[in-house]
Amino acid sequence: MQSLQSYKIMDEKELKKRIADIRARYKNRLLILAHCYQQDEIVECADFVGDSYALAMQASKNRDAELIVFCGVKFMAEAAAILAGNNRKVFMPDLDAGCPLADCADIDQVEAAWNTLKKLDISKDVVPITYMNSSAELKAFCGKNGGIVCTSSNAKAAMNWSLSQKQKLFFFPDENLGRNTARAGNINVSDIVLWDPLKNHGGCGEKDLANARVILWKGFCHVHTFFTVDHIKSAREKYPECLIAVHPECNEDVVMLSDANGSTSFLKKYVEDAPSGKTIIIGTEINMAHRLGKENPDKNVLPLARSLCPNMFKTSISDLCYVLDNFPVDNEISVPQYIADDARLALERMLNI
């Protein structure tokens, strides 16, 4: 086995040739998945590129692939491993690619919050929803408590499903996605409370928790909260006829001033469906924003601002080639069975809606 360092100094042309040869050798036994925020060199080598929802679907339904290489961040690879089952192996080129948003809530904090709701006799009326950007433990927590996982693609459907099951929902860890989705679902601001895990009782009064329909966790994505109202105003001043579309992880005021908001898959389709010659400003991770411009040369597609996800940026073509060239490697993603079983329940509920 060659060392990873030997791949780091390898010529890009040689790396791409090796990857192509490996893909040809394994054929449909190998599946390379890449998130939209990955660098172009990774996207070019992938069998499928999409948002976290689409990638979860691929991991679930592609039963021929014995080996799945997930180019993204850890929570995504964990979800793929859970959905892939025991007979297929999932690998990740860079195990250090995490997610600060997912780190905004850990299992101890969420269980402490749930115990508070239990003591107040509220938890029996609550469905927990965890965003895909969360640990396998939180997905398992939702699975065993009648809850569900959601992505930005189906957050509204997940909220509707949850409120059809019980009177309230507890949404974590992204406050902005939860708030923007609740607003789009015509839930009154007065029916929403914010749970701050660093405060006693989440900083919420007992009466507020009892009356709330939606309890939001105080967490955020630094990539999308980077965008501001001033960015929107500046874009409209410079391009008066432009369309602006942003990700729903952005702050509520940014979303409300935009023409549209949605998941990475939504943003891709929004650009593709726009009239030729139109200027479209996209508020999401910079690699995807730039790629949309390359893929739609008949339109003027520009980033709202330059916001890079450093964790998505960690995966290089050297890392990918190393994993592919050295099966089995230490980069396998495994989730303990007792966690995977409960997490799968919540993920399958997501896929079923």
* Per-residue confidence (pLDDT) for residue 205, from 0 to 100: 94
* Per-residue confidence (pLDDT) for residue 41, from 0 to 100: 95
In order of their start, the domains of the chain are 4-97+312-334 (3.40.50.10800), 102-221 (3.40.50.10800), 229-303 (3.40.50.10800)
Residue-averaged pLDDT of the chain: 95
* Per-residue confidence (pLDDT) for residue 44, from 0 to 100: 95
Cα dihedral sign, 292-293-296-301: positive
The rounded distance, in Å, linking the Cα atoms of 144 and 121 is 18
CA distances from 350 to 111, 161, 346 (A): 21, 10, 6
* Residue-by-residue DSSP string for 252-304: HHHHHHSSEE--HHHHHHHHHHSPTT-EEEEES-HHHHHHHHHH-TTSEEEES
* Per-residue confidence (pLDDT) for residue 183, from 0 to 100: 96
How many Å separate Cα 214 from the centre of its chain?
A: 21
* Per-residue confidence (pLDDT) for residue 328, from 0 to 100: 83
User: 326: burial class by Cβ within 10 Å (0-12, 13-18, 19+)?
Assistant: middle
pTM: 0.94
* Per-residue confidence (pLDDT) for residue 353, from 0 to 100: 87
* Per-residue confidence (pLDDT) for residue 86, from 0 to 100: 76
- What does the block give as tokens for 63? 């039963």
- Amino acid 160 reads N
The residue ranges of the chain whose pLDDT is under 70 are none
The rounded distance, in Å, linking the Cα atoms of 232 and 248 is 15
CB atoms within 10 A of CB 348: 16
The rounded distance, in Å, linking the Cα atoms of 132 and 136 is 9
- Amino acid 96 reads D
CA distances from 329 to 97, 105, 189 (A): 17, 30, 50
